[in-house]
Amino acid sequence: MRNLESEEHRETRGFGIDKLNFYTPNQYVDLVELARARCVDPDKYLIGIGQERMAVAPVDQDIVSMGANAAEPLLDDVTRASLGLLVLGTESGIDQSKAAALFVHQLLALPEGMRVMEIKEACYGATAGLMVALDFVRSHPDRRALVIASDIARYGLDTPGEVTQGAGAVAMIVSADPTVLAIEPGTVVASRSTYDFWRPNYSTVAFAQGKYSEEVYLAMFRDAWNRASQMGLTCPEGLAAQLFHIPFSKMGRKGLRTLQGMMTDDDYGRLANRFEDSIRYGRQVGNIYTGSLYLGLISLLENDSSLRPGDRMGLFSYGSGSEAELFFGKLCSGFQSELNSAGHRAMLEGRTKLCVEEYERVFNAGLVQDGSRQVLERSDFDAPHYLTGLDRHQRLYR
C-alpha cells in the first residue's frame, strides 16, 4: 500500500484523481433510427448534433444504483477504510431531503465515520464535488474522497433536446499522491444567474432555451480562457489537450473552435486531434450531465495512446444556471495502469439496442407515487447494484 502521508510524494505529485470509472445502462437507442422516427435527416443528429447512440436508463437503474455501479470497481478494503468524504453531484435527485449519496454509502458498505452529501448545480455539480474533495485531501492528506457524478438526462419525447439525452455515472477517488491526474490549485471560476436550462421541482423533464444555452456556454468558456491566459494559467504550447463539458459533441467542438486563431496551427491541430478521442465514449452514451466532462477525460485517456505522464490538460466544466470553471491537471506516472479500456468498450458494445417504440415505453415507465409496493425486474445482470422496488415511499436497492 502506498503511504499517503509521504511528504516526498505530496511534493512531487500533489493532489488529484487517483482512480476513475464510469457506468452506463445496458440499453441504447440508435440515433439514425430516432431521426427517422422523428422525420429528421439522420445527418442532423450524426453531424449537426454529433451523437450516434443514446443510453436509456431502465426503471431499475437510477442515479443511486448507477453511481454505486461506477464506484464499486474502485473500492478495495484499503481504499474503503481511508475514505473521509463522499460527494455525489447530480441534477436528477431522487429525494428533496435525503442525499442520494447516503444510499450509495450503504450500497458500497462505506465506513460510518465519514462525511456524505449531495451537491446540485446542474452539470457543474461533480466539479463542485471535486473541488470540495481536493480541499478535503489537502487538509487530510492521509484520507481519500469519493466523488460521484450521476445523472439521467431527460427532455421529453419529440422535443429539440430529445437527441441530447443520455444516462450514466462517473466515480473518482481523490487523494494526495494521485495516480491519474494531479490537479493544479489555480482555476478560473465564474457565476451568472441565467435561465438557459432548468428543471422545476414538479417536472421530470428539463426545460432549455437551447440556442441561448449554447451562447452562455460559449461566452463563459471564452471569458474563462481569456482570464486563464491573463493569469498565466494557460499557454497553448504547453497544453496536450483541452477537455469540455459535452452535452453533445458539437457543443464541445464549438468551444474548441473559439480557440482557432488564438494559437499556432500545430497547437490547435494537437488539441483538435485529442478532442476527437475525448468524445468517443460520449457519442455512444449521450449527455450524462455532471459526469460528461469526466467521461470525456476517461475517453481521452483510453483512446489516445500517445499521452504521456507530465502531459498537461485544461478541463472546462459548465453547469447551466450558470456556473463555469476552467482548471488544469497533469497526468501522473502510472496513469495507464488505472484505465479499463477493454472493460469500458465491452460495456458499450454489449448493450442491447432498443427500437424507438421500446425506448418510448421505457421513457414513460414510472415508479409508483402513492406509497404502494412495486417490484422491479432486474435489467442488467452485470451491474451489482440496482433498484429492486419501492414500498411505503421508500426506495429499495440491492
* Of residues 56, 49, 18, 15, the one with CA closest to residue 35: 49
* Of residues 89, 154, 161, 57, the one with CA closest to residue 387: 57
**Alpha carbon separation from 175 to 18, 79, 95, 140, 372 (Å, rounded):** 6, 10, 29, 9, 43
DSSP, res 45: I
Q: Out of 181, 188, 243, 251, which residue is the one contacting ligand CAA (CB under 6 A)? A: 251
The footprint of ligand CAA on residues 193-212 (CB under 6 A) is 196-197, 208, 210-211
- CA atoms of 161 and 272, how far apart (whole Å): 26
Q: Out of 90, 179, 213, 284, which residue is the one contacting ligand CAA (CB under 6 A)? A: 213
255 binds ligand CAA (CB under 6 A): no
**Span near ligand CAA by CB under 6 A; candidates 141-149, 156-164, 178-186, 223-231:** 156-164
Binding mask 72-111 for ligand CAA (x = CB under 6 A): ----------------------------------------
* Of residues 398, 291, 308, the one with CA closest to residue 21: 291
DSSP, res 49: I
Q: Which is nearer to ligand CAA, 105 or 283 (CB)?
A: 283
Judge whether 41 is annotated as a binding position.
yes
3-state helix, strand, coil in the chain (%, to 5): 40, 25, 35
Owner of C-alpha cell 488529484: 16
The footprint of ligand CAA on residues 306-325 (CB under 6 A) is 318, 320
Site size toward ligand CAA, by CB under 6 A: 28
> What is the smallest separation between the CB atom of 225 and ligand CAA, expressed in angstroms?
16
Beta bridge partners of 174: 17, 145
Please give the residue whose beta carbon sits closest to ligand CAA in the complex. 48
252 binds ligand CAA (CB under 6 A): no
Q: Which residues are catalytic?
A: 91, 123, 245
48 binds ligand CAA (CB under 6 A): yes
Beta bridge partners of 138: none
Owner of C-alpha cell 428543471: 199
What three-state secondary structure class fits 111? Answer: coil
Owner of C-alpha cell 466539479: 127
Judge whether 151 is annotated as a binding position.
no
Q: Out of 123, 170, 188, 220, which residue is the one contacting ligand CAA (CB under 6 A)? A: 123
245 binds ligand CAA (CB under 6 A): yes
Judge whether 21 is annotated as a binding position.
no
What three-state secondary structure class fits 208? Answer: strand
Residues at the site binding ligand CAA, with contacts judged by CB under 6 A? 41, 43-44, 47-49, 123, 160-161, 163-164, 196-197, 208, 210-211, 213-214, 217, 245, 247-248, 250-251, 287, 289, 318, 320
Q: Which residues are annotated as a binding site for (3S)-3-hydroxy-3-methylglutaryl-CoA?
A: 41, 155, 254, 287
